[in-house]
Structure 1
Amino acid sequence: MATITQASSFLTYQRGRTSITRATIQMPNKLNTDPLNQLPKLPSQSHQLDLRSRTTVKETDHHSVAVEKKLYLIMEVVADRVEMHKNIGEQRNNWNSLLLTSINAITLSAATMAAIAATTTVADGASVDILKLSSTFMYIAVTGMLIVMNKIQPSQLAEEQRNAARLLKQVHAQIQTKLAICTPTLDDVNEAMEEVLAIDRAYPLPLLGVMLEKFPPKAQAAVWWPEKRSNSAKGKRGKNGWNEGLEDEMKEIIKVLEMKDKADYLRLDEKFLMFNKVLALSGPLLTGFGAIGSAFLGHDPWAVVAGVASGVVATVVNSIEHGGQVGMVVEMYRSNAGFFGMMEESIESNLKEGDVEKRDDGELFEMKLALQLGRSIQELRDLAATSTTNGKDMKEFGSKLF
């Protein structure tokens, strides 16, 4: 660095004396006269890539937050659905108790009036007519109430709402688990919505128009899950906990569930469905005979039998049907058969998926299946081995829970 020294003399006057001050200025060796060097430098290529990656991360984070918001929204709706089904289920259970009590009380009162009218002397003609009319009117009223009650089956409706509340709680817990252990995607959102809507279709809340058929021609298993879509094309075998032994085991479990558990519950459901149909027809017919018998008291000796005995027998029939909650038993068996149907479809959808990596984790899936059937993993494997050995002659059921 060269030093250019310039001496400048400044005359200052300080109390009549003159002093000289020298100033020294240092300059660089080479002056920068290039105007381009004065412009700000552009970011390097690596810096540009870093900015792009940061922008991508921000967009990904925003997308993830949007998906989580949607799942939280579905959770709120599901929680509200659970409360709705719970409240309506309690209401319909109360319907069953109150209607049964009221119908039995009216039926017995009508039978009592018919008996009193039959024992009253002819001299008390006015009293006899009043008792006959009252008994007839009560029988007619209770017949209409029975027809409505047998049509809607309140005990079965209450069981439907209990099942719906339980299934919706499962959906709620599954969403919570996804939010806790992994980063959810739009596929998770769509799957959750489809599950909620499938439960809505399987267990409708209103009665008019969409109520489930309480007396179908044939017993069928309940279906409350959406249709599973899978790729049936064969792909390379991956890990993900799956191997040929596990696949063969799952195929045998499907056979056991189809031939034993599901078939047995459908058979029981068919029997109780027929029994419920007989009871539902018998009640109104008996109260109808009671109304006819009460109207003809004093004219036909058989009228007394119809007016009194029909009411007593109708009370017994109604108590068995609604007090015993036969409709609830029908729905319970239907749901149990549907549970095994859902397990079969879940296994089949995994086996049909060509890309093994897209299946559920094999070890976790086997553990979940064993727990759902009330078995240990080794017991589940033994069941599959027994099914392979015995074939159609197998005696053991798949589930140990129910």
Structure 2
Amino acid sequence: MTTLQSSSFLNSRNFVPSTSSCTRRRGLIRANIDIPRIKTSKISLPILQSVHEQEWISYSNIANNNLVEIQLSPATRRSHMANGPDPVVIEKLYAIKEAVADRVEMHRNIGEQRSQWNSMLLTSINGITLTAATMAGVAASSGAGGDSILGLKMSSTMMYLAATGMLAIMNQIQPSQLAEEQRNATRIFQDLHNQIETTLSIGHPSATDVKEAMDKVLALDKAYPLPLLGVMLEKFPSSVEPAVWWPQQRRRQTKRVGDNENNWNGWNGKQEEEMREIMGALGRKDQEEYIRLGGKALKLNKFLAMSGPLLTGLAAVGSALAGHSPHGSWAAMLGIVGGALASVVNTIEHGGQVGMVFEMYRSNAGFFQYMQESIESNLTETEMERRENGEVFEMKVALKLGRSLSDLRNLAAASLSKGEEIDEFASKLF
């Protein structure tokens, strides 16, 4: 057996010496070769001052499968992250996103609860009122007096008084309107949640994005409060004002899309004129129409809210005076007819959800005002790179108004060509 050793070649590479042997037996040659074992090397840069400031980066060496661990200093780490997003900003946006998701669930649950309030209170009050009217009728139709008739009259009067108090409270809080407020808040909070997700998906969020998201959350909390006592929105205002759930428009950060510096960020003179026409139509037609309809719904709701308790109160007086008094027949008629009319009024007001209709009109008017302010804030910005990209913004406006891009442009072009104000509603969605 012959043994060959090449120690000089192996020692230069930190290899373990290997042997090679050849054996000749019966015409066969066998060779045994020991594969060298590779040692793991570790490079350590002792420039870190504390364990909390250390960051380890592992690299895989494909050539020899060695694992090399390198410790980087804070300065080196910051240089690696200079072109990436700030992790603190991302963490803040995720915290706001979680809070917004919780708001969505809260408003959805409370909206369902208040919708059930409306149904249960409507059924209960109508049942009490009709029962009281029936008792008043039985007491009036009975010719004989006695304790039984007195009991019917007292029961009818007490039930009317209970219905009057319950109806006064129900008309004050307007459960159907409360439920509509929570539905609107759920939808807008969900939209804000989607916006934050989009910001995180696109990447490179900034502290300005965090500030804008916080402002929107606080503005929504103020516009659609959850508690009833103290901060509940006024249900019978003196005039109809559009709902406002967005913070004050501020100057935007740079939003240029693309690298071409001469593209005006997707804007041109014709597009600006078209957006001005759309903004004017939103104010003159859509918003004005919904404020007018909201005013009519408010007047009807006020009339019904006062009529219901008044009728049940009169019915209670009539039920108490029914009997052998000089005006017993008229009192009995008041007790019966007053209860029946009160049930009809209550059904129209809360069964028809007039308060919800008023809130819907008020919210839609607020939506059109929001669209106007969004268009105006872009048009008044003189630095094009701070505007939202013109093509993207035009598409958003078209989608929110329920129109295609060509339909939106034709609407504005018709007014520009005739030199007259647009006589058509800008929105096809509402």
- TM norm structure 1: 0.83
Pick the aligned partner of 2:284 from 256, 259, 262.
259
How far residue 54 of structure 1 moved from its aligned partner, in angstroms, is: 3.8
**Structure 1 pair 52–239 and aligned structure 2 pair: CA distance change class (3 A):** farther
| Counterpart position of 1:3 | none
Q: Is 1:317 the counterpart of 2:345 in the alignment?
A: yes
Distance in 2 (CA, whole Å) between partners of 1:61 and 1:147 is: 63
* Secondary structure of the structure 1 residue equivalent to 2:265: coil
Shift of 1:313: 0.5
Q: Which residue of 2 aligns with 1:295?
A: 320
Instruction: Compare 53-62 and 301-310 and name the one that shifted more.
Output: 53-62
The residue that corresponds to 1:163 in the other structure is: 184
Unaligned runs of 5+ in 2: 1-72, 253-260
How far apart, in 1, do the equivalents of 2:424 and 2:131 lie?
51
Match of 1:377 in 2: 405
Higher percent of residues as helix: 1
SS for the counterpart of 1:240 is: helix
CA distance in structure 2 between the aligned counterparts of 1:189 and 1:78, rounded to whole angstroms: 13
Which amino acid letter does the alignment assign opposite residue 396 of structure 1? Answer: E
Number of aligned pairs?
348
Contact kept, 8 Å, 1:238 with 1:356, in 2: the verdict is no
Instruction: In structure 2, give the amino acid aligned to 1:314.
Output: A
Secondary structure at the aligned position of 1:256 is classed as helix
Q: CA deviation at 1:121?
A: 1.8
Question: Are residues 1:117 and 2:145 paired?
Answer: no
Q: Which runs of 4+ in 1 moved over 6 A?
A: none
| 1:14 corresponding residue in structure 2 | none
Q: Return the letter of the residue paired with 2:181.
A: E
* Larger RCO (CA within 8 A; separation ≥ 6): 1
Give the corresponding residue for 2:379: 351
1:352-384 deviation digits (Å, cap 9, x = unpaired) = 112110000000000110111111111111111
Distance (Å, rounded) in 2 between the aligned partners of 1:277 and 1:170: 33
CA distance in structure 2 between the aligned counterparts of 1:305 and 1:175, rounded to whole angstroms = 63
Q: What corresponds to 2:424 in structure 1?
A: 396
Q: What per-residue deviation string (whole Å, max 9, x for no partner) do you get for residues 18-77 of structure 1? A: xxxxxxxxxxxxxxxxxxxxxxxxxxxxxxxxx998454346478611110000001110
Task: Determine whether 1:339 maps to 2:367.
Answer: yes
Please give the alpha-carbon distance, in whole angstroms, between the structure 1 residues aligned to 2:209 and 2:194: 13
Work out which of the two has the higher radius of gyration on C-alpha atoms and give 1 or 2: 1
- Matches of 2:332 and 2:418 in 1, distance apart? 62
2:89 aligned residue: 67
- The structural deviation recorded for 1:230 is 2.9
Alignment-mate amino acid for residue 213 of structure 1: E
Cα distance change on mapping 1:269 and 1:91 into 2, 3 Å: same
1:220 correspondence with 2:263: no
TM-score for both structures, normalised by structure 2: 0.78
Contact 1:276 1:327 (8 Å CA) reproduced: yes
Distance between the aligned counterparts of 1:111 and 1:178, measured in 2? 61
Structure 2 counterpart of 1:145: 166
In 2 relative to 1, CA 391–337 (structure 1 residues): closer, same or farther, beyond 3 Å? farther
Distance 2:127 2:74 in 1: 79
Structure 2 Cα separation of the partners of residues 385 and 206 of structure 1: 47
- d(CA) in 2 for partners of 1:212 and 1:355? 39
Q: Is residue 2:225 matched to residue 1:211?
A: no
Identify unmatched segments of 5+ residues in structure 1.
1-50
Q: Which residue number corresponds to residue 281 of structure 1?
A: 306
**Alpha-carbon separation, structure 2, partners of 1:390 and 1:295:** 70
Structure 1 residue aligned with 2:333:
305
Which residues in structure 2 correspond to 1:9-20 (within 5 Å)? Answer: none
Given candidates 80, 97, 102, the residue that maps to 2:102 is: 80
| Seq. identity, % | 59
